[in-house]
Structure 1
Amino acid sequence: MKRKLYKGLTLVMLAATLGLTACGNGGANNGQSNAEGKSNNSDPNAPVKLKIMWQGADIRHQAMLKTQEVYTGLNPSVTFSPEYMAWDDYWKKLPTLAASHSLPDVLHMDGAYIQEYATRGTLEDLSDIDLTGVIDEKTLDNLKINGKLYGIPISRNAQGMAYNKEALEAAGIELPKKDWTWDEFFDFARNARAKLPEGVYPISDTDTWDFYEYYQMGYGKGTIIQEDGKKFNLDKDLFMKFYGIFAEFRDKKIVPPADMVSAFKENDPQADPMASGKVMTRGATVGSVGALEQLMPGKIDVVNLPVGPEGGGWAQPTIFLSVSTDSKHKDAAKAFIKWFVTDKKAGETYGTNFGIPIYDDVYNAIEPSLAPKEKLGKKLYDTAKDKALPFSPAAAGWTEWVDNYKKTMDAVLFGQKSLEEAYNDISKSGNALAEKLSKSSK
């Protein structure tokens, strides 16, 4: 896979749980179909009920449900059994479904996890779906895993930052600017602290590996996890400098206290760092910034992540629709996915709730009717793409390390571990895992 994680959240036991799927055709459903109706080899006009599952905010749920209604209206023999939930709950449930061979026919995949599921045999190869003229071959080739396409990208996405423009302007603080450097980002935080009220913070603290990796990559030191997980590359000088700055920020109360940071929950009106009014900036993607704008209508703007000499952040597809290998309705599932990606009526229904539609014809059809909150996602993408670096999800087998990275840095935030100890622990475990994976591949 040519991409390399933008989300700090991972599943502690994902690899171990998914490993159960390789133990034969058993499981909770005893090999029964995970969708109602006839199998792939039956009458194509026979009634089919596809199980479909996705994650996100409520606005995405409603759009997805309406899209399924439209499809059934055009294809009366196909109905849906939908299940949807928030991000955290979704990725906690999926491994259990995979282990019991109960994955839905159609499921939402994310760039942070698709390699893990694909390499363990739970996702169907979708290379036979004809997307000529819809998605360029280079994009599709970059998304392949071991030469196969396990998810159809449904949108363009990018990582950037949202900021409370209204509050920053009211406080007389200079706003973030496109292509700002890391030094400018840190200076913004220091300068804003002096003008913001007590208990309001310019930026939040950080405990996830991917946010640091943007820094390391931007300064030309490469990704942390390399060669499909067989090489570990954590630059100590940059690590100590980056987190040393955040240690300074904790001492000077430029970032929130650790207990506040641990209680943050994105897109919750009371607990979201920005929507709650506690923090002036936070990370956002094309697909998520609309939900934040809905919580703070007319108050926010966007900027790309800080950049180093090599660039910063990423801008490419990260949201996919996949098909379970256990599905008895693969053809019907594939037909729905192709329609979802290519049909203008579908695009008019789900809009930008998954990001910017991957097919230009679909986006051009909906662009005139987009609300300001939806155009904000396009602005984020356009702002991020010029300096974007490759998207870098964790390699298969690294989910527990990613989780332990966060736990280790949480200990630093709470003053339970020194930065030197944290680096040693993270580096030791990363090198040991890379060595193990390298030996097992020989």
Structure 2
Amino acid sequence: MGKRWLKSKGWAMLTLAVVLTMTACSGNSGNGGNQGSEPSSATETAAAGGASGAAATLSIMWWGSDVRHEATKKALDIYSQQFPNVKFKPEFMAWDAYWQKLPTLAASKSITDVLQMDAAYIQEYVSRGQLEDLSDIDLTGIVDPNVLKNLQIDGKLYGIPLSQNAQGLAYNKTELEQLGIPLPHKDWTYDEFFQWARDARAKLPEGKYPIGDTSTWDGFNYYQTAMGKPPIMSDGGKTFTLDKELFMKFYGIYDDFRKNKIVPPAELAASFLENDPQADPMASGVVLTRGATTGSVSALEQLMPGQLGVVNLQTGPAGGGWAQSTIFLSVSANSKNKEEAKKFVKWFIMDQEAGKALGLTRGLPINPEIFKELEPTLEAKDLLGKEIYDMSVDKALPFYSPAAGFSEWVDTYKKEMDAVSFGQQSIEEAFNKIDKLGKELAAKAG
């Protein structure tokens, strides 16, 4: 999910998001560089199904922090020790640099054999024909079948999920208990969430708010899909569905909340900066809840040690929220080492030694056996992330990323809804502009 994802967790996802500060979907800042991984021993394991006898050099690229870089290089060394015929040509960089470079490589059909991929962009690269179908890799017993089903694009798998991730809500458990406000509960509905916010407002002093405002597209998409309607974008962006009745109802509630000081005023909300000790809406003590993911909640826990509780996102008749991996290893459709690359990406999530080396650098490992090995060493912040996932998975809907070519629409959505928040236009005026642009982009995609 990316570092842009959750500024309201919102879609920031593309920019964003969010929020996700690590994110199992997220990219942290780090230094870029290349380093070859030389083989050092001839140990073999059956984990990857055995490597071919022919010598091969796999190029691989990923984004992340320096901690992730070092851990990944250790894993590559382990692979070359187990399979001495395979060497690596790694390249690693920060999130922004990665997504600036990848389109250039795609245009020249020179993407690395193996590459890290994010849920916000995988649909786009699949639509360009840049990623190999990995459906023939047997992940039985490693990845939950329901998770795999949600990850498929047109019935095929284009990325091996690396970690568990889910969207939930963090809340200031300590302060809510002190104020006598009931704690949020698992599988609460949208109606219960809205009423909880109204009731909590009555017990809060001036300058404090039970929930935050929302102006990004994914916040409403959660609501629309929870109510049993299609996602806003589907079929690669060819189908666009923005339900006006639900849109007017959802944002009408938030408009009422602004008037009644249930959410912060627009000027204050615009100043929030997640995970900043002074400007984070929760860490600053201004808002008692905010969006968090399995990957991002640890950063908030470090700002508010021992004070947090977590719950899954609000639900509707169809379910609610999402729980799946948002960060993957993919294989280039133009790779000349496809079979070797496929063996490697499966090994990456099932080898015990690699699992220990990688730790939580890409979130909670998707493989339950690896997680079991690491669990005794986990800190409270990491266990909160697992709690979000466990609470979310049974009601989770698929994770819906923006369709290719919809970045303009994502930005327009936020701009128009911010204008509503500041009282500069009506909800219906914003809907008409957003809906018009979405339909135009869908027609182009078709």
Aligned to 2:125: 117
Q: CA deviation at 1:236?
A: 1.5
Structure 1 segment 1-16 matched on structure 2, within 5 A:
8-9=11-12
Q: CA deviation at 1:423?
A: 0.9
Of 140-149 and 420-429, more deviation after overlay is shown by: 140-149
Matched, 1:247 2:255: yes
Matched, 1:233 2:241: yes
Matched, 1:429 2:437: yes
Once the two structures are superposed, residues 387-439 of structure 1 have per-residue CA deviations (whole angstroms, 9 ceiling, x without a partner) of 2223222333333222221221122122222111001111222223333433x
Question: Aligned to 1:275, which of 283, 295, 299?
Answer: 283
Q: CA deviation at 1:293?
A: 1.7
**Native 8 Å contact 1:68 1:80 kept in 2:** no
Question: Aligned to 1:54, which of 63, 82, 91?
Answer: 63
Aligned to 1:189: 197
- Residue 12 of structure 2 aligns to a residue in which SS? coil
**Native 8 Å contact 1:124 1:323 kept in 2:** yes
**Native 8 Å contact 1:36 1:50 kept in 2:** no
Of 75-84 and 338-347, more deviation after overlay is shown by: 75-84
Of 111-120 and 367-376, more deviation after overlay is shown by: 367-376
Aligned partners of 2:138, 2:147: CA distance in 1, in Å?
A: 14
- In structure 2, the CA distance between the partners of 1:437 and 1:359, relative to structure 1 (3 Å rule), is same
Aligned to 2:177: 169
**Native 8 Å contact 2:127 2:236 kept in 1:** no
Of 237-246 and 255-264, more deviation after overlay is shown by: 255-264
Aligned partners of 1:11, 1:359: CA distance in 2, in Å?
A: 27
- Residue 108 of structure 1 aligns to a residue in which SS? strand
Aligned to 2:92: 83
**Native 8 Å contact 1:35 1:327 kept in 2:** no
Of 331-340 and 253-262, more deviation after overlay is shown by: 331-340
Question: Aligned to 1:392, which of 377, 397, 400?
Answer: 400
Matched, 1:401 2:417: no
Of 152-161 and 264-273, more deviation after overlay is shown by: 264-273
Of 278-287 and 222-231, more deviation after overlay is shown by: 222-231
Of 404-413 and 131-140, more deviation after overlay is shown by: 131-140
Structure 1 segment 89-108 matched on structure 2, within 5 A:
91=99, 94-95=102-103, 98-99=106-107, 103-108=111-116
Q: CA deviation at 1:341?
A: 0.6
TM-score by length of 2: 0.79
Aligned partners of 1:37, 1:345: CA distance in 2, in Å?
A: 16
- Residue 170 of structure 1 aligns to a residue in which SS? helix
Aligned partners of 2:79, 2:445: CA distance in 1, in Å?
A: 48
Aligned partners of 1:90, 1:349: CA distance in 2, in Å?
A: 23
**Native 8 Å contact 2:282 2:290 kept in 1:** yes
Q: CA deviation at 1:340?
A: 2.0
| Amino acid corresponding to residue 319 of structure 1 in structure 2 | I
**Native 8 Å contact 1:160 1:303 kept in 2:** yes
Question: Aligned to 1:65, which of 66, 70, 75?
Answer: 70
Of 399-408 and 259-268, more deviation after overlay is shown by: 259-268
Aligned partners of 2:191, 2:226: CA distance in 1, in Å?
A: 12
Aligned partners of 1:344, 1:281: CA distance in 2, in Å?
A: 37
**Native 8 Å contact 2:37 2:76 kept in 1:** no
Aligned to 1:25: none
Aligned partners of 1:195, 1:137: CA distance in 2, in Å?
A: 44
**Native 8 Å contact 1:103 1:326 kept in 2:** yes
| Amino acid corresponding to residue 92 of structure 2 in structure 1 | E
**Native 8 Å contact 1:11 1:403 kept in 2:** no
Q: CA deviation at 1:379?
A: 1.1
The root-mean-square deviation of aligned C-alpha atoms, in Å, is 3.2
Matched, 1:294 2:302: yes
Structure 1 segment 261-272 matched on structure 2, within 5 A:
261-272=269-280
| Amino acid corresponding to residue 54 of structure 1 in structure 2 | W
Aligned partners of 1:275, 1:326: CA distance in 2, in Å?
A: 46
- Residue 330 of structure 2 aligns to a residue in which SS? strand
Of 261-270 and 286-295, more deviation after overlay is shown by: 261-270
Aligned partners of 1:150, 1:255: CA distance in 2, in Å?
A: 40
Once the two structures are superposed, residues 86-145 of structure 1 have per-residue CA deviations (whole angstroms, 9 ceiling, x without a partner) of 5x6655664455446565554332222211112113333334544344335664455333
Aligned to 1:143: 151
| Amino acid corresponding to residue 12 of structure 2 in structure 1 | L
| Amino acid corresponding to residue 252 of structure 2 in structure 1 | G
| Amino acid corresponding to residue 94 of structure 2 in structure 1 | M
- Residue 75 of structure 1 aligns to a residue in which SS? helix
Q: CA deviation at 1:35?
A: 9.0
- In structure 2, the CA distance between the partners of 1:349 and 1:226, relative to structure 1 (3 Å rule), is same
The one of the two structures with greater contact order (alpha-carbon pairs below 8 A, sep at least 6) is 1
Q: Unaligned regions of 5+ residues in structure 1, if any?
A: 13-33
**Native 8 Å contact 1:10 1:400 kept in 2:** no
**Native 8 Å contact 1:50 1:333 kept in 2:** no
Of 73-82 and 388-397, more deviation after overlay is shown by: 73-82
Aligned partners of 1:384, 1:399: CA distance in 2, in Å?
A: 27
Structure 1 segment 25-36 matched on structure 2, within 5 A:
none
| Amino acid corresponding to residue 70 of structure 2 in structure 1 | L
Aligned partners of 1:375, 1:223: CA distance in 2, in Å?
A: 31
Aligned to 1:198: 206
Aligned partners of 1:145, 1:119: CA distance in 2, in Å?
A: 10
- In structure 2, the CA distance between the partners of 1:233 and 1:70, relative to structure 1 (3 Å rule), is closer
Aligned partners of 2:337, 2:36: CA distance in 1, in Å?
A: 9
Matched, 1:157 2:162: no
- Residue 92 of structure 2 aligns to a residue in which SS? strand
**Count of residues in Structure 1 that have an aligned counterpart in Structure 2:** 404
Structure 1 segment 276-425 matched on structure 2, within 5 A:
276-325=284-333, 333-425=341-433
**Native 8 Å contact 2:224 2:246 kept in 1:** yes
- In structure 2, the CA distance between the partners of 1:331 and 1:290, relative to structure 1 (3 Å rule), is farther
Identity rate, percent: 57
Of 405-414 and 90-99, more deviation after overlay is shown by: 90-99
Once the two structures are superposed, residues 351-410 of structure 1 have per-residue CA deviations (whole angstroms, 9 ceiling, x without a partner) of 344343222221222223322221212211111122222322233333322222122112
